Amino acid sequence: MPLRPWSPIPIHDCGEPLQPIAGALWRLEPHPYLALGAPYGSDGNPFLLRSGVVDRLLLAQQALQLDHPELRLAIFDGWRPLAVQRFMVRHALVGECRRLGVDPDADSPERALVATEVGRFWAPPSGDPATPPPHSTGAAVDLTLADGSGAPLPMGGDIDAIGPISEPAFHAAAARLDPGGEAARWHRHRHWLAEAMAAGGFVQHPNEWWHFSWGDQLWAWRSGASQARYGRVDKEEGAEL
């Protein structure tokens, strides 16, 4: 898979620890990758982020509830070790190949096309500390909006869906054509999420309505920062959990 445009940005890790996501933030459980058997280890906890990222999530939730007091952020996924990234990239590739009738283990043009499309959404599980997958840094979070009971709002496309439907503005044209339609509601929900996260200082992945980060290379690339604050962190490098 080719390097991302943010991959050349240098990383100067500030040493901030991982910490559990605050109880004030709703977690979508059971965690989807744990349910698939992703190798977090016997005591693995995917609901971890750098401490400064957790603080900013709380700011984002406050901003959301200023305008929409009935809503809350709902966390889908946080920190992800390389073994899980590798497992999930393979899972996504195999799933998309099967959906399209392509042999996931064949050395074929069709398989290569699927791998390219999957690579738009899943970062390669690079072991190079200069090019860490965003979630391995503890700086990236996948999330959605939920109502007061914790039920996720319809967003017009599932988290982790492969294809253009996952792009943040996918429903914008349909929303303009029919402001009272379903697509307009989905687009509005995506906008509310992005607006709240921006208030916390986060940047959004260009291909994924659900993925936001602060302090990693993607954040530096989108915000114009000269360097990233967070590199890959393994659990044993974080705080006591």
What positions carry a catalytic annotation? 208
Angle between helices 51-67 and 182-199 (to 10 degrees): 130
Contact 108, 102 (CB under 8 A): yes
Element of type H or E holding 33:
helix 32-36
Residue 97 CA, chain-centre distance (Å), reads 22
* Amino acid type, 143: L
Interstrand relation of 72-77 and 140-146 (parallel, antiparallel or unpaired): antiparallel
Residue-wise burial string across 167-182, b where 16 or more C-beta atoms lie within 10 A, e elsewhere: bbebbeebbeeeeeee
Residue 206 makes CB contacts below 8 A (sequence gap 6+) with: 167, 168
Which residues is 203 bridged to in the sheet? 213
What gap in Å lies between CA 7 and CA 80, rounded to an integer?
Answer: 18
Query: What single DSSP character describes residue 204?
Result: E
Residue 97 makes CB contacts below 8 A (sequence gap 6+) with: 103, 104, 111, 114
